[in-house]
Amino acid sequence: MKKRLKKALSMVLIMISILALFAQSAFAFIEGFSDEIDKANEKILEAVEKTQEKAAEEALKGNKSEEEFNEYLDKLIEKLKDKTEKTAEKLIEKAAKEGVTIEKTYKVFIIYDREVEIDPFYAH
């Protein structure tokens, strides 16, 4: 009986040790990947800021009719969304290859007088 108990306890300790080692390495990998997520989020936020500045500058010029300005804003926002989506998709694909799941978390930003949802993300 004692021999079986020792064997069972040994197996349990080995399994716990193995799980702890794998969990640490997986966590370290996700932590290392967080730098890439931070860089991508920074790139996205910079694109948002530039778009906000361009919209404000164009509004201050005042050389477009309301319709022309709205068309300009539409194109500017569409370009921003395309750029941020491409950045997000690249990182999501790269993470998936490495076994990391990244989710988009849309945030609302104001571009001139419009609310626009852009997608910084997080890993889990």
Model pLDDT for residues 24-53, shown as the tens digit of each residue:
444 444 566 778 888 888 888 899 999 999
For residue 26, the model assigns a pLDDT of 43
Q: Let me know if residue 88 belongs to a domain.
A: yes
For residue 75, the model assigns a pLDDT of 96
- Tell me the two tokens of residue 25: 């390495």
Q: Let me know if residue 22 belongs to a domain.
A: no
Q: Let me know if residue 74 belongs to a domain.
A: yes
Query: How much of the chain exceeds pLDDT 90, in percent?
Result: 31
Q: Let me know if residue 16 belongs to a domain.
A: no
Residue 82 has pLDDT above 80, yes or no: yes
Q: Let me know if residue 117 belongs to a domain.
A: yes
Q: What is the mean pLDDT of residues 57-75?
A: 93
Q: Let me know if residue 27 belongs to a domain.
A: no
Residue 72 has pLDDT above 90, yes or no: yes
How much is the pTM?
0.69
Q: Let me know if residue 18 belongs to a domain.
A: no
Which residues constitute the domain of residue 68?
Answer: 34-123
Specify the number of domains making up the chain: 1
